[in-house]
């Protein structure tokens, strides 16, 4: 029996064990070559974990006394998160080397954080949720301050930590309320609790608890009104770390949010729907308007991330299977767009200096036509302009909202997309039509080239071959609605 328990959590166990091994390897080889070795080993670890998740049995299996669940939903989200971690770790390597902060701890921290994300997606009780959430977050706080010789990076780490601790507190407070009023922290028991009662209501205390839990999750998602850390942390943290923030933890938090609201509180859609709608509208509006005035591309992407979380939440607000399906499709597409975009930012250099200002995109079309093409693909896709993948993400969540009569929510989504289109398209204009006094550096590292190319191809060709992503997302969403 215990053996099968371990098998269910094999990918996570492997990841954690590998993380420990890498830590030791790094400790004994504390040189730049060692850092490179650890980083490459970490890439291999993530790839193997990805394979382990892919070959795992698709059936629902529960382990560790109901604290851990592996189902189609967890499997799908794990694949997406692992891809995000893999992609961002790959593009981090050359960046860290150039910035002179190539240390083996980076890859180890990424591995531990990814293990936290993976556990998070399989969390089946609030206890497991909290532990994995902290396992995910603590390495991230350190990573934000990784470039510790600069004020900005240190400040980013501190801010992230303080606000993150506040959010953790809120989440815990909410969990204790839910526990006090329902008597359980297990998702399955919560689901079963009111299953046979027609028209059952959540106890008021538990409802207040849900509000606090939502606040804690909103912080991890970087959704309004708990978004304030994102622009500062995105800007301050080293770009490679920012890429990781935008890709992996956000996706893990979204997967967790979907599970929490669809599974234990799935029967009380009417109770939490308003919270999600409020967060979603706030995020879409702020994401759209906040981004306009930005000059720093990382800050802009932070706002863009806030907005995209808002769009994805439109699907969750529907509270239906097709809504969750929309969220999954949206987040998958978001992953490719955002990793690709950060790849472009990392590739943007002039005389060996990394560039972060939006105006630095000027002249890219002339100096690096292929990179410019990739940039245009990502920007048009982020703006939601067909036939690129980003459009279909929006289409799915909006349709789900309209199905349940949330027409106005979809309309707000479309209107904020219009505003959002402004700043994405301005970048395209800079890339193709403006010129800079000095040419950008040509050539980039193979890792960077590969990640950008894969992301761009997926984003551009989703319209032609939508089957793989759509099919697996459909199965994953079905797992939450048996």
Question: What residues make contact with another protein under the rule CB under 8 A?
Answer: 159, 162-163, 166, 177, 180-183, 203-205, 207-208, 211, 215, 225-226, 228-229, 231-232, 286, 289-294, 380, 383-387, 391-392, 395-396, 398-399, 402-403, 407, 410-411, 414-415, 417-419, 421-422, 425-426, 428-429, 432-434, 463, 466, 470, 474
Q: Are 442 and 367 in contact (CB under 8 A)?
A: yes
**73 vs 473: CA distance, rounded Å:** 8
Using CB atoms within 10 A of its CB, is residue 21 exposed (0-12), middle (13-18) or buried (19+)? middle
Alpha helices in 349-406 (DSSP H): 364-367, 369-382, 389-403
Task: Choose between 370 and 433: whose C-beta lies nearer to another protein.
Answer: 433
**75 vs 329: CA distance, rounded Å:** 14
**426 vs 257: CA distance, rounded Å:** 33
Task: Choose between 277 and 444: whose C-beta lies nearer to another protein.
Answer: 277
Closest among 258, 414, 416, 252 to 327, alpha carbons compared = 258
Q: Are 459 and 95 in contact (CB under 8 A)?
A: no
Using the 8-state DSSP alphabet, how is residue 266 labeled?
Answer: G
**236 vs 153: CA distance, rounded Å:** 5
Task: Choose between 40 and 176: whose C-beta lies nearer to another protein.
Answer: 176
CB of 432 to another protein, least distance (A): 7
CB of 332 to another protein, least distance (A): 15
Task: Choose between 52 and 421: whose C-beta lies nearer to another protein.
Answer: 421
**166 vs 52: CA distance, rounded Å:** 35
Q: Are 308 and 246 in contact (CB under 8 A)?
A: no
Q: Is the peptide bond before 206 cis (omega within 30 degrees of 0)?
A: no
CB of 54 to another protein, least distance (A): 24
Task: Choose between 130 and 380: whose C-beta lies nearer to another protein.
Answer: 380
Task: Choose between 227 and 250: whose C-beta lies nearer to another protein.
Answer: 227
Q: Are 297 and 356 in contact (CB under 8 A)?
A: yes
Q: Are 382 and 301 in contact (CB under 8 A)?
A: no
CB of 93 to another protein, least distance (A): 30
How far apart, in Å, do the first and last CA atoms of the chain sit? 25
Q: Are 442 and 368 in contact (CB under 8 A)?
A: yes
Q: Do you know the residue count of the chain?
A: 482
Task: Choose between 95 and 161: whose C-beta lies nearer to another protein.
Answer: 161
**425 vs 304: CA distance, rounded Å:** 13
120: helix, strand or coil: helix
Task: Choose between 318 and 451: whose C-beta lies nearer to another protein.
Answer: 318
CB of 32 to another protein, least distance (A): 26
Task: Choose between 11 and 282: whose C-beta lies nearer to another protein.
Answer: 282
CB of 232 to another protein, least distance (A): 6
Q: Are 278 and 224 in contact (CB under 8 A)?
A: no
Element (H, E) at 350: strand 349-350
Closest among 117, 347, 407, 159 to 252, alpha carbons compared = 117
Strand 349-350 and strand 61-63: pairing? unpaired
CB of 445 to another protein, least distance (A): 29
Supply φ then ψ for residue 354, to 5 degrees.
Answer: -70, 140
Task: Choose between 100 and 466: whose C-beta lies nearer to another protein.
Answer: 466
Strand 61-63 and strand 68-70: pairing? antiparallel
197: helix, strand or coil: coil
CB of 242 to another protein, least distance (A): 16
Task: Choose between 44 and 471: whose C-beta lies nearer to another protein.
Answer: 471
**123 vs 186: CA distance, rounded Å:** 9
CB of 466 to another protein, least distance (A): 6
CB of 437 to another protein, least distance (A): 15
CB of 275 to another protein, least distance (A): 8
Task: Choose between 51 and 162: whose C-beta lies nearer to another protein.
Answer: 162
CB of 395 to another protein, least distance (A): 7
């Amino acid at each position: 029996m215990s053996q099968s328990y371990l098998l269910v959590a094999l990918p996570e166990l492997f990841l954690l064990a590998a993380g420990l091994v890498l830590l030791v390897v790094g400790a004994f080889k504390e040189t730049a070559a060692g850092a490179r070795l650890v980083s490459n080993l970490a890439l291999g670890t993530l790839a193997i974990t990805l394979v382990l998740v892919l070959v795992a049995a698709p059936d629902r299996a529960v382990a560790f006394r109901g604290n851990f669940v592996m189902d189609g939903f967890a499997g799908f989200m794990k694949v997406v998160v692992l891809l995000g971690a893999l992609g961002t770790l790959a593009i981090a390597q050359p960046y860290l080397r150039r910035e002179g902060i190539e240390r083996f701890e980076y890859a180890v921290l990424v591995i531990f954080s990814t293990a936290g994300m993976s556990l998070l997606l399989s969390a089946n009780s609030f206890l497991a949720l909290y532990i994995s959430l902290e396992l995910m977050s603590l390495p991230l706080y350190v990573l934000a301050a990784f470039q510790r010789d600069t004020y900005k990076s240190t400040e980013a780490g501190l801010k992230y930590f303080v606000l993150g601790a506040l959010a953790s507190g809120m989440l815990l407070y909410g969990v204790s309320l839910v526990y006090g009023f329902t008597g359980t922290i297990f998702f399955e028991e919560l689901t079963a609790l009111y299953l046979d009662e027609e028209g059952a209501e959540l106890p008021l205390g538990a409802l207040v608890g849900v509000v606090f839990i939502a606040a804690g999750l909103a912080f991890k998602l970087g959704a309004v009104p708990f978004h304030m850390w994102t622009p500062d942390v995105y800007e301050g943290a080293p770009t490679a770390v920012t890429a990781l923030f935008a890709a992996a933890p956000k996706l893990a938090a979204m997967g967790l949010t979907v599970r929490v609201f669809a599974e234990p509180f799935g029967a009380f859609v009417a109770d939490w729907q308003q919270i999600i709608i409020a967060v979603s509208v706030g995020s879409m509006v702020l994401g759209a308007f906040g981004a306009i005035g930005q000059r720093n591309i990382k800050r802009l992407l932070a706002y863009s991330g806030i907005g995209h979380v808002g769009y994805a939440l439109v699907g969750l607000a529907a509270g239906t299977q097709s809504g969750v399906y929309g969220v999954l499709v949206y987040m998958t597409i978001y992953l490719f767009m955002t990793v690709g975009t950060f790849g472009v930012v990392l590739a943007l250099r002039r005389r060996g200096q990394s560039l972060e200002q939006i105006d630095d995109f000027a002249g890219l079309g002339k100096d690096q036509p292929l990179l410019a093409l990739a940039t245009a693909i990502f920007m048009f896709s982020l703006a939601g302009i067909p036939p690129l993948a980003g459009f279909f993400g929006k289409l799915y969540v909006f349709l789900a909202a309209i199905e349940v009569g949330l027409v106005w929510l979809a309309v707000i989504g479309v209107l904020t997309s219009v505003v959002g289109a402004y700043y994405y398209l301005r970048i395209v204009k800079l890339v193709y039509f403006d010129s800079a006094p000095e040419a950008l550096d040509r050539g980039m590292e193979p890792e960077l080239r590969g990640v950008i190319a894969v992301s761009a191809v997926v984003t551009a060709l989703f319209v032609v071959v939508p089957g793989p992503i759509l099919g697996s997302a459909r199965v994953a969403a079905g797992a939450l609605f048996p």
